[in-house]
Amino acid sequence: MFFHNLKIAFRNLAKQKVLSFINISGLSIGLGCFVLFLLFAVHEFTYDRFHQNAANIYRVAEWIQTPERQGGDAFGGTPLGPAIKADFSDVKAYARIQAGFDDKFVRVNNDVTRSKISFADPQLFKMFSFKTIAGDAFTALNDKQTVVLTKEKAIQLFGRTDVVGSRVDIKMGEQYEPFVVGAVTEDIPSNSSIRYSILGSYAYLMASDMGRQSDGNWHMTIGSETYLLLDSKSNLAQDAGRLAQFRRSHMPGEEEELKKMGVWDGKGPFPVRFLLQPLKDVHTNPAIGGPSDTIDPKIIWILIAIASAILIIACINFTTIAIGRSSARAKEVGIKKVTGSRRGQLIGQFLTESILLSVFAVILGCVLAMLLLPFFNQLAGRELHFSFSQFPQLLWLLLALTLLTGLFAGIYPAFVLSSFRPIEAIKNKIRLGGSNLFTKSLVSFQFVLSIVLIISTLVLLQQLKFLRTQNIGFQKENVLVVDADGTDAKKIYPLFRQMVLSNTAFAGISASEMGMGEGKGLMGTGFQYEGETKGVIMYPVDAGFLKTMKMQLLAGRDFNPELTTDTVDAIIANEALLKDFGLTLSTAVGAELKERRFGDQLISRRIIGVVRNFNYASLKQEVRPQMFFQPPQLQPTKFYIRLRSGDPSTALAFLQAAWKKLAPEFPLRYSFLDEDMNRFYVFEERWSRVAGWAGGICIFLACLGLFGLAALTAVNRTKEIGIRKVLGASVSSIVTLLSKDFLKLVLIAFVIASPLAWLLMHKFLQEYAYRISIGWWVFILTGVVALLVAFVTIGSQALKSAVANPAKNLRTE
């Protein structure tokens, strides 16, 4: 029976080539997209689960809960790990790891490259399941001057992996220090929160200046995380009491201090506490900050929802086409019933057909997904691979997907077709022709999904454009940023500046102690004015910074390199700062603010100028109070060079040469400020692209289905069209006749989709401090495009049957 069904299924597929093509290609595209998103979801949801001890590993985080703020971060002090292990017998081991923050120069056989250096306790390799391929990573990290490399790094540095015992020089501070490679490990799986390429010993870190300072200091962090391996029976993670006790015993003055600062009133729960975060939670809990990327599970689910929408549209195509073809299958159903088939058997037969189709489509979809994977990786910012060894669950997920798709697409037609009464079916009295209410609603539903996605994309793109072109208070175009961090920048800068200024290709150069374009590493402190204290962000810059960045001075003056007093107390504030302190443009210049230093020390600062509000951060946030000051001894890490507009290549070549002359031992690292700043909007860009592609695919699939339906209608109504033409109907009246009903469905879809999309995007835009208002033209545009595309699709089919020879059609009936 099964083979009999398969046989019919195959022959039907072969007979209806166009419809089979629509069905299989549509489903394959839908499944291909779904498989990609599925891979992404599996990847994100399996983060860190490859460690054998994953269930018993926790990260120590500090959770702060006040009315204004709640959140956690995983950067604990260095004494935390040893103390917690000593205090609790159910903590079996701890490992501290400092992820590499800045790039250090690494020298192997006189080749210098830059790389992040991480540091960890040797226990890391006992607790976690990173595989070693050469040497012994555990013993290696017991030695201060030993490093562990990943396979990839070893190949990059040495060209091979058997490098245990080889020497690597790393520039720590002012000079290179020798290290020995103690072990090489397998590359770190892409779904790991803990990442390193060169891993040094924590003991080395603790011996450094910074490490010595942090030793025994519970209030300082050097940006390292502490992981614990708990006994499998331990309840420490749930036992808030024991953790609170632990905190009190090691930070005894804290309660008094917080009370004095007015953060805590002595009643209610203490606002700061330690929290043990399960390893499995690290990647998917954005509330706790750490060195690795996190993702809100909501986003994963939204992606899955978008992928499901695409798949559903493809499945609906199958359903509507199957219903549209029902008259062609009715005879078969009738005969089978007459020859003794029961309804259940017929349902089985139709489901066999749809599942068979889905098997084909899944295979093709997987091929498609593999071809598209590099593109998708770029879109999603990931490095995914189709690896059944990394994701064994993919196998059964794919099986389930195949079955579900087949069932979902086939169930309705199976029930409808099998319900035909034999006599009517045989006499060809069944005429559903894609026109029953249910299939009509399905077609509309497809277009609702497509239109919502397309409107969302347009709004996202508009918002993105708005964010990028918004006046941010300076000109980010044509500014080249040289990253001089870790070089002898203090010596290089004045000479480099001289050379740049001597060349007319450049309009200016300045420097700063901090990066600005990346939006991290801000420096700020409290300022006092007329008894009120407010937080202000400070930028230590070189004179000429404002000019180079083309910032607009609204009042007062710029820093004057001739005046030494300007390096003592002069500051230039932005409008937001004025507003915060209740100053105006006329009262601001000359105003004195008190800067809070360590302890209760106050330092006087005087406003010499006011600049237009500027924003180095994402426009998601309001512009914050910010100021520039000129330190007496500038330690530049970034050089900002304004190029005259035009081709930057000659200017770049000049900079390369100049750099080589001044600092031959360091490669020149540079970026363009506008590109750096666009990185704030990676999220928006990614989302608009994902939504755009999804919307495009949706409308393509929906039209593919419409095409099939139109073709079917034309076939089902061949006789009617023939008769109408014999009676004198014009081609255009027949095209109208055939297209009208479908276009009505698209129109209905548009009417339903528009308010939905508006609500969705309205809600989304609320997250932005600076946002566009959604224009009505977005809706009109999308509606017109959807109708037009649908009309072209249907019209082509309608035209074909309208111009066909009626005599021929009538004869075949």
Nearest distance from C-beta of residue 722 to another protein, angstroms: 21
Which residue's CB is nearer to another protein, number 335 or number 395?
A: 335
Interface residues for another protein in 401-430 (CB under 8 A)? 422-423, 426
According to the binding rule CB under 8 A, does residue 259 interact with another protein?
no
- For β-strands 198-201 and 111-120, DSSP reports them as parallel
Which residue's CB is nearer to another protein, number 349 or number 574?
A: 349
According to the binding rule CB under 8 A, does residue 340 interact with another protein?
yes
Which residue's CB is nearer to another protein, number 211 or number 334?
A: 334
Which residue's CB is nearer to another protein, number 337 or number 771?
A: 337
Task: Let me know: does 618 contact 680? Beta carbons within 8 Å.
Answer: yes
Nearest distance from C-beta of residue 7 to another protein, angstroms: 7
According to the binding rule CB under 8 A, does residue 431 interact with another protein?
no
Interface residues for another protein in 87-146 (CB under 8 A)? none
Interface residues for another protein in 164-203 (CB under 8 A)? none
Three-state DSSP class for residue 43:
helix
Beta-bridge mates of residue 634: none
Work out which of 89, 110, 175, 339 binds another protein, going by CB under 8 A.
339
Query: Cα dist. 742→787, 788, 795 in Å?
Result: 10, 12, 10
Task: Let me know: does 148 contact 182? Beta carbons within 8 Å.
Answer: yes
Which residue's CB is nearer to another protein, number 8 or number 737?
A: 8
According to the binding rule CB under 8 A, does residue 1 interact with another protein?
yes
Spatial separation of the C-alpha atoms in residues 30 and 364, rounded to whole Å: 10
Span near another protein by CB under 8 A; candidates 1-9, 101-109, 277-285, 453-461: 1-9
Q: Which of these, 153, 203, 202, 208, lies nearest to 181 by C-alpha position? A: 153
Burial 750-764 (b: 16+ CB within 10 A, else e): bebbbeebbeebeeb
Query: Cα dist. 415→307, 466, 709 in Å?
Result: 27, 51, 20
Burial 118-151 (b: 16+ CB within 10 A, else e): bbbbbbbbebbebebbbbebbebbebeebbbbbb
DSSP annotation of 96 reads E
Interface residues for another protein in 453-492 (CB under 8 A)? none
Residues in contact with another protein, shown as a per-residue x/- string from 591 to 630 under the rule CB under 8 A: ----------------------------------------
Contacts of 246 (CB under 8 A, 6+ apart): 83, 84, 87, 88, 274
Nearest distance from C-beta of residue 332 to another protein, angstroms: 5
According to the binding rule CB under 8 A, does residue 803 interact with another protein?
no
According to the binding rule CB under 8 A, does residue 18 interact with another protein?
no
First to last CA, the chain: 33
Spatial separation of the C-alpha atoms in residues 725 and 717, rounded to whole Å: 12
Work out which of 59, 96, 280, 336 binds another protein, going by CB under 8 A.
336
According to the binding rule CB under 8 A, does residue 345 interact with another protein?
yes
Task: Let me know: does 586 contact 597? Beta carbons within 8 Å.
Answer: no
Which residue's CB is nearer to another protein, number 422 or number 692?
A: 422
Beta-bridge mates of residue 167: 180
Spatial separation of the C-alpha atoms in residues 206 and 328, rounded to whole Å: 79
Nearest distance from C-beta of residue 427 to another protein, angstroms: 9
Interface residues for another protein in 500-529 (CB under 8 A)? none
Spatial separation of the C-alpha atoms in residues 386 and 371, rounded to whole Å: 11
Nearest distance from C-beta of residue 340 to another protein, angstroms: 4
Nearest distance from C-beta of residue 414 to another protein, angstroms: 17
Nearest distance from C-beta of residue 322 to another protein, angstroms: 15
Q: Can you tell me which residue has the tokens 């006087």? A: 604
According to the binding rule CB under 8 A, does residue 15 interact with another protein?
yes
Nearest distance from C-beta of residue 337 to another protein, angstroms: 8
Q: Which two tokens stand for residue 556?
A: 């007062």
Nearest distance from C-beta of residue 423 to another protein, angstroms: 5
Spatial separation of the C-alpha atoms in residues 60 and 57, rounded to whole Å: 10
Nearest distance from C-beta of residue 793 to another protein, angstroms: 29
Spatial separation of the C-alpha atoms in residues 221 and 216, rounded to whole Å: 11
According to the binding rule CB under 8 A, does residue 689 interact with another protein?
no
Q: Which of these, 671, 243, 737, 262, lies nearest to 485 by C-alpha position? A: 671
According to the binding rule CB under 8 A, does residue 348 interact with another protein?
no
According to the binding rule CB under 8 A, does residue 49 interact with another protein?
no
Work out which of 331, 606, 669, 800 binds another protein, going by CB under 8 A.
331
Spatial separation of the C-alpha atoms in residues 396 and 209, rounded to whole Å: 53
Q: Which of these, 543, 704, 715, 557, lies nearest to 636 by C-alpha position? A: 543
Task: Let me know: does 361 contact 408? Beta carbons within 8 Å.
Answer: no
Nearest distance from C-beta of residue 13 to another protein, angstroms: 10
Spatial separation of the C-alpha atoms in residues 380 and 689, rounded to whole Å: 9
Which residue's CB is nearer to another protein, number 336 or number 440?
A: 336
Binding-site size for another protein (CB under 8 A) equals 22
Q: Which two tokens stand for residue 97?
A: 């790891």
DSSP annotation of 129 reads -
Span near another protein by CB under 8 A; candidates 8-16, 261-269, 552-560, 673-681: 8-16
Query: Cα dist. 662→488, 491, 501, 508 in Å?
Result: 10, 9, 15, 19
Query: Cα dist. 448→303, 320, 704 in Å?
Result: 18, 16, 15
Q: Which two tokens stand for residue 371?
A: 């071809």
According to the binding rule CB under 8 A, does residue 762 interact with another protein?
no
Which residue's CB is nearer to another protein, number 336 or number 605?
A: 336
Three-state DSSP class for residue 52:
coil
Span near another protein by CB under 8 A; candidates 94-102, 334-342, 489-497, 673-681: 334-342
Three-state DSSP class for residue 219:
coil
Span near another protein by CB under 8 A; candidates 188-196, 278-286, 327-335, 768-776: 327-335
Nearest distance from C-beta of residue 8 to another protein, angstroms: 5
Nearest distance from C-beta of residue 351 to another protein, angstroms: 17
Spatial separation of the C-alpha atoms in residues 309 and 449, rounded to whole Å: 7
Task: Let me know: does 5 contact 348? Beta carbons within 8 Å.
Answer: yes
Span near another protein by CB under 8 A; candidates 172-180, 332-340, 618-626, 653-661: 332-340
Nearest distance from C-beta of residue 437 to another protein, angstroms: 24
According to the binding rule CB under 8 A, does residue 580 interact with another protein?
no
Which residue's CB is nearer to another protein, number 7 or number 131?
A: 7
According to the binding rule CB under 8 A, does residue 332 interact with another protein?
yes
Nearest distance from C-beta of residue 803 to another protein, angstroms: 27
Q: Which two tokens stand for residue 224?
A: 């390292």
Span near another protein by CB under 8 A; candidates 213-221, 277-285, 326-334, 795-803: 326-334
Q: Footprint of another protein on this chain (CB under 8 A)? A: 1, 4, 7-8, 11-12, 15, 331-332, 334-342, 345, 422-423, 426
